[in-house]
A and B are shown apart, each in its own frame.
Chain A
Amino acid sequence: MLETIFPNVNWETMWEATLETIYMTAIAGVLTFLFGILLGLLLFLTSKGHLWENKGVHSIIAAYVNITRSIPFIILIILLIPLTGIIVGTILGPSAALPALIVGAAPFYARLVEIGLREVDSGVIEAAQSMGARHRDIILKVLLPESMPALLSGITVTSIALVSYTAMAGVIGAGGLGDLAYRDGFQRNNLDITVTATVIILLIVFVLQWMGDRLTYKFDKR
């Protein structure tokens, strides 16, 4: 049955590509979450009227974020090839895609984090200060927990963007479903491979969105 509808699909290759896509998205997602929160916190805290108000530092971070966000991802990957070689030790395979994925996605997520932190009621921060809270307490006990739903829905959106970034990472031979759909599907004119890869990518996106929504809902006690 499967043979007749998908004559050209090699299921073993398809499964491998799926795992590669999941691997790239998961590792890049976790690291983007960490770096993005760090960057977003810095953006927020150094902005006017906040704990570490510092125009100089803020403009530097903002410039970095804006520049990396403006470069099209496909170009970012090529630009980062030398860096990838140094960090990962190879410029091929799924791991080689990680630096570019993180460099591309973290600034995007950082902006979402910053927006989420701005939504935290300034009165609550003031209350924590009136209790004699250290900056560490304010960040860990107030800012991050109070913005958690925004941080989670932000990482959901970012992970979904990461899935499509992984497809582009095929350029540097990263593997994954996008790569498979392009090389084996499009270039060799095997429509069934392209369609199957697309359906699996869709499934991954749906699952990510569903998990993200559930988590966000769970943390939202407002």
Chain B
Amino acid sequence: MIRLKQLSKIFQTSNQEVTAVDDVDLHIEAGEIFGVIGYSGAGKSTLVRLLNLLEAPTAGTVEVAGYDMQALDNSSLREARQEISMIFQHFNLLWSRTVYSNIALPLEIAGVPKSERKKRVEELIQLVGLAGREQAYPSQLSGGQKQRVGIARALANRPKVLLCDEATSALDPKTTDSILDLLVDINQKLGLTIVMITHEMHVIRKICHRVAVMEAGRVVEEGNVLQVFQQPEQEMTKEFVKQIAAPDEEAVQQVIESANAPVMKLTFTGTRAGEPVVSDWIREVQVDVNILHGKLTHTTEGSFGTLYVAVGANEDQLSHSLSFLNGRGVFTEVMA
């Protein structure tokens, strides 16, 4: 659906060149939710704007939804953009228009007749859960509701690709989750390809299938979300993974020192969600387990994280435990 080849963007300022995107190759499949993560200034926002040519590439090629974007003339580019819509961190709604007419705007631009517009806007309002707020102005809405209007507006012309530029970064955690659920719902219902630009690992692990990690304009690591979580190769990626899946070391050290039984470290690397590994283990080996510390997280493809437990067990039980847990795909080691 999206294919980038050796894509670069250099900004020329008065006294220097700034390379915002540096030789990026990416291939995003149709129907995929693809995450791009990086700290601010990594070039993610520029990258996403290269996809709909809001920024013109300095070098390389952009192919989206079957269009060779750079080959399009102005009017075909405008038509192509109706298939590649975008939502924004600060929503970018028109405050002068109601919810209803904000959603109608892209339809007006596409020249959809009025009666059809009405039907489509009503459908979209239902889809994003804003029924009853049609006549409200953006200033009367909460952040989450504003982003729902943004999403409805982006979906109006039935696009093939949805670009999300930090779409949840201005929202509180609870609202973020509800917007992410809506995006997953749309992805499944409409088969829409979604590109999520974010600096929040939480967003990646919650809804993305694949992820690219950006640093200084380059994609330094790319792959299946679970695989990147399990075996982060780059320092940058490790830092991001740590944010959600690694307990902080000081706390762990304290816990180990104060424990009066052997401490085991259980590393979950994509165990199928909902599988009761720990209770199976307790039943099987007949040990007392005291959970000391841990950080577990769920991705679209399984649980992932670390758990520290104190185990009241003898040597035999310990080795039995090790073989049982490792057999169930939980990497286990005895710490102390």
The distance in angstroms between the C-alpha atoms of A209 and B23, with both chains bound, is 58
The distance in angstroms between the C-alpha atoms of A146 and B95, with both chains bound, is 7
State whether the Cβ of B182 lies closer than 8 Å to any Cβ in chain A: no
Asked if residues B96 and A219 are in contact (CB atoms below 8 Å), the reply is yes
State whether the Cβ of B78 lies closer than 8 Å to any Cβ in chain A: yes
Asked if residues B79 and A132 are in contact (CB atoms below 8 Å), the reply is yes
Given known A130-B54, A132-B80, contact A123–B109 (CB-CB < 8 A): no
State whether the Cβ of A213 lies closer than 8 Å to any Cβ in chain B: no
Asked if residues A126 and B82 are in contact (CB atoms below 8 Å), the reply is no
- A28 → B minimal CB distance (Å): 27
State whether the Cβ of B210 lies closer than 8 Å to any Cβ in chain A: no
Asked if residues A132 and B82 are in contact (CB atoms below 8 Å), the reply is yes
**Chain A interfacial residues counted at CB < 8 A:** 21
Given known A141-B105, A141-B108, A222-B139, contact A131–B85 (CB-CB < 8 A): yes
State whether the Cβ of B18 lies closer than 8 Å to any Cβ in chain A: no
Size band of the interface chain B makes with A: 20 to 34
Contacts of B109 in A (CB 8 A): 128, 131-134, 137, 141
Residue of A nearest to B137 (CB): A221
Render A117-138 as a binary contact track against B, CB cut-off 8 A, 1 for contact: 0000101101111111110010
State whether the Cβ of B59 lies closer than 8 Å to any Cβ in chain A: no
The distance in angstroms between the C-alpha atoms of A134 and B85, with both chains bound, is 15
State whether the Cβ of B94 lies closer than 8 Å to any Cβ in chain A: yes
Render B303-318 as a binary contact track against A, CB cut-off 8 A, 1 for contact: 0000000000000000
State whether the Cβ of A31 lies closer than 8 Å to any Cβ in chain B: no
Asked if residues B85 and A128 are in contact (CB atoms below 8 Å), the reply is no
- B120 → A minimal CB distance (Å): 14
Contacts of B148 in A (CB 8 A): none
Listed in ascending order, the chain B residues whose CB lies under 8 Å from chain A are 52, 54, 77-82, 84-86, 88, 90, 92-97, 105-106, 108-110, 137-139, 153, 157, 163
Listed in ascending order, the chain A residues whose CB lies under 8 Å from chain B are 121, 123-124, 126-134, 137, 141-142, 145-146, 148, 219, 221-222
Interchain Cβ contacts under 8 Å between A and B, 27 examples: A123-B88, A124-B92, A126-B54, A127-B92, A127-B93, A128-B105, A129-B54, A130-B52, A130-B84, A131-B81, A131-B85, A131-B153, A131-B157, A132-B79, A132-B81, A132-B109, A132-B110, A133-B78, A134-B109, A137-B109, A145-B94, A145-B97, A146-B95, A146-B96, A219-B96, A221-B96, A222-B139
